[in-house]
Chains A and B, each alone.
Chain A
Amino acid sequence: MSTFKCPKHLYSRPCDEVHVDGTCSVETSVPCLFVSPGSLLSNFPFEANKYRINSPLDWSGSPFDGRGRPTQSNSSTGLTLPPDFGPERPVRTASRLERLLRDDKFSVTCEVVPPATADATTFVQSVKTLSSCVDAVQITDNPSADLHMSGLLAAFFLEQAGFETILHMTCRDRNRAQLQADVLGASGAGINNILCLTGAHPTEGNQPESKPMFDLDSVNLINAIRQMRDDSKLLSGRTLDDPPHVLIGGLVSPLAPPRNYRLHDLGTKIAAGADFVVTHVIFDIESLDRFLEAMESKGLQEKVSVMVSVGVIVSAKNARDIHRRFPGVLIPESILERLDGIAPGRQRQEGFQIAVETIQRLRENPIVSGINIVPHLSSTTFDEIVELCGQSNLLPRPILETPEEAING
């Protein structure tokens, strides 16, 4: 039973949401089971450059056991890294994002949270503010386990309004049957990019009574979508008439412990099928640079596009709040000191200055192929995002040839 102590039923790898101080994001007083020495991770020792995927838990054995005890099948499959971005890798989608990443252009995306109501017109209208300054919008899937409109349909509305969308898909709320159905649906609705993440635990949000699903973990989800796209096969082995054409993304948490594992985790996600990865919000550029250097030393930078999430801190109080509320986010002392040394009235401006500097430094790094601006970190408005993009010299966004032109050369 000890292996199922993790609230997200993970047994072979930690989730993407571990806090930077090593505590579990579900119960913040408890250390993550994979971080401490002699932890669960030692049951699945990882070797450098050898990536394996552990099959998800099997729940079929105990339908009459209301306690829900799954069995852990110890089968794991070896994975090989895909070829580098280039002619060996076929064009997957008609996605603007894919073309940007292939052309090595710096891409800008912004995360938007669907509304918690049954009407999307105001939402779509407000997101239209961003149309001139981003290449794609990322649609969150009930972030922090708070109830919002279904991300799939919110993305569908934005697609119809002419946006390129990246749909976030968490493993928190759906089992593998529904996750795959939603991938088919998303592709059918014209969504070209899917980002897979584990997701916050229901107890962290405003529907704490919900059953935590976590049937697949994020690596298994990435693998399932890759299998659907490349082999036209569902997890059950059934073939698909028409596979989904999607670009697959993974979440990477470079600053969260166990730090020596995170690089391996990135490699596993790439081998499982991730075409791009998005990091948690980064303020500590030095640590990120170290992570990216280690990534380069393993030769992973050619296999995947890295998009770094950037947030705006609006006050010193907000900085400390972010520190507590958002897993995987580390705000270095230097930034805290810099904000504390300024009058409260001007801290917001300073926060934007910090974000502009962060973006500048990220653009200088050749491994970073784009940014993801996260406004809901500190309730920044979309108008301010447009201004931020302008200040960071990201505008105007490049105009690309249409997908037909791209495919026909």
Chain B
Amino acid sequence: MSQISTLGKPLHNKAPQAFDALDNLIVPIERMIKESVFGCHMCGQCVLHSTGFTCPMECPKGLRNGPCGGVGLDGSCEVNRNKKCVWFNAIQRSSQTFWPKQIYQRNPPVDWRLTGHSSWVNHVTGRDHHDRTDPDWRSFNLPDVLDQPKRSDGNFERRLRSGQFVVTCEVNPRTTADPATLLDYVGTLEGKIDALHISDNAFSTTRMSNQAAAALVESIGLETCLHISCRDKNRLMLQADVLGASAAGVKNIFCLGGDHTTLGEYPEAKPAFDIDSVNFIRMVRKMRDKRMSSSGSSIEIQPRVFVGGAAAPTAPPLKFRPHRLGKKVIAGADFIITQVIFDLDMLRAYMHRVRDLGIDKKVFILTVVAAIPGPKAAEYLNGHMGIVVPQHIIKRLSGVPKKKRRAEGVKICVEIINEIQEIPGIAGIDIMDILTEKWFPTLKIAEEAGLLPRPPLPATQDQERFGVQ
């Protein structure tokens, strides 16, 4: 395919106007054919051949590298439960095409200048960046994560590298302009939690900007892991935020796709989804390792951050999930955080496949755990955002009197943590709050699970070099 553009590029450089005229001529024809056959959305940079001739722009998030974590347990789309996720078709059909391996390759993000133009003309002229597509992720020979150079030298990375079982927790900024409550709460976690995840407008509700929250938390001396979702910002702002966060001392950045705007507080807001999480990870990685922004402008001082990505072990299509993880690892994730886990059998099965594919050696995998406040919340969570709550947990919660339910939730969570520690390939946990403004059981969970006090911090690079204690 690439030979076409090597022919077309010099021609295009000589007479771009001719190709613009050709574009005007072809667009109606292309639209007519592809719209009726594939449901084409005229993104102008066709990847139909890699997705089994299923248009990925049909996805409300326009994902081009695999399904998001919000797929319902029956395979439905998170935006409309009556629609099936387009990626089921894509995965199934791609195995029947001549290019069955192309579903395992990373597609570059959409160039929004090209939308509405002819993808055929764009391909011939090389405007559609097909040369930036990575090959099948399995063909890469990535060194093990322990052999890779140190990235941020933060507490979180050092603990992971030394093999400690890492304990992190999620902190949700509130919908207020006063950070005092947040900082008070965060102060109680000092020395007991290895890194604080600052969530990005969790559950699609507007909260205080997590950028500002992370900067404030860093300024009182705690290590944070900043979540940045692709839902609300385009790549210009995402990169600006990565630079700013790094300047504020943030050493870990967790890149996630985010749930759709129509599920949140502002259904009428414009969803960004400018790039997907796989490309976001790669973009941050490029900024750090090559000192380059996504479109190639140079960055003088690179953001020295440890880059993370998300995984959804319990969301369908279960078979494809490890491959999506693989794509993220090849794109450059240093650590992975899963969706919140209640079903240990599913996690074990997932980790088994991950180990078979050899991914567990290439990346640090952390799982999210949470204490459920009661059976109602458990019912709600089951099937939401790719979360599975097994029936025996729901039964157990409804079996205890109302006043003891929260204590029972903590007990279940502690049991899950103890079991997770036994699974090979899992490097740590992230304790999440389900009731983000009412109930903060993090410390209780950590204590009851026997994770406190925390082991001593491994030495930093400088301390190692100069032998300072």
Q: Which residues of A approach B to under 8 Å, CB–CB?
A: 56-60, 63-68, 70, 114-120, 142, 145-154, 156-157, 160, 172-178, 180-189, 202-203, 205-215, 234-236, 238, 240-245
Contacts and interface: CB of A to CB of B under 8 A. Distances in A.
A56 B268 CA distance: 9
Interface string B102-145: 00000001111101100000000000000000000000000000
Interface stretch (B173-181, B320-328, B352-360): B173-181
Most chain B beta-carbon neighbours within 10 Å: one of A178, A183, A212: A178
A209 B113 contact: yes
B42 A188 contact: no
Contacts of B274: 210-211
B383 interface: no
8 contacts: A56-B268, A116-B243, A146-B297, A154-B244, A173-B240, A177-B265, A181-B232, A207-B294
B235 A210 contact: yes
A208 B233 contact: no
Nearest to A63: B60
Given A67-B42, A188-B178, A212-B234, A206 B295 contact: yes
B212 A185 contact: yes
Interface string B168-209: 000001111111000000000000000000000100111111
B176 A242 contact: yes
Secondary structure dominating the interface of A: loop
B299 A116 contact: yes
Contact of B261 (A65, A177, A189, A214): A177
A142 B231 CA distance: 19
Contacts of B62: 66
B214 to A, nearest CB: 9
Given A117-B247, A153-B244, A184-B209, 7 more contacts: A60-B262, A66-B55, A118-B304, A184-B207, A188-B178, A213-B270, A234-B175
B207 A181 contact: yes
B177 A242 contact: yes
A260 B389 CA distance: 62
Nearest to B207: A181
A149 B243 contact: yes
B265 A178 contact: no
Interface of B: 41-43, 55, 57-60, 62, 79-80, 83, 109-113, 115-116, 173-179, 201, 204-213, 215-216, 219, 231-237, 239-248, 260-262, 264-274, 287, 293-295, 297, 299-304
A207 B235 contact: yes
Given A187-B177, A189-B215, A211-B274, A177 B295 contact: no
A207 B304 CA distance: 21
Contact of B57 (A66, A119, A203, A207): A66
A64 B83 contact: yes
A94 to B, nearest CB: 13
B269 A215 contact: yes
A74 to B, nearest CB: 14
Contact of A152 (B212, B273, B299): B212
A213 B245 contact: no
Given A63-B260, A185-B208, A189-B215, A174 B268 contact: no
A188 B177 contact: yes
Contacts of B270: 57, 59, 68, 70, 175, 213-215
A178 B247 CA distance: 21
Contacts of A214: 270
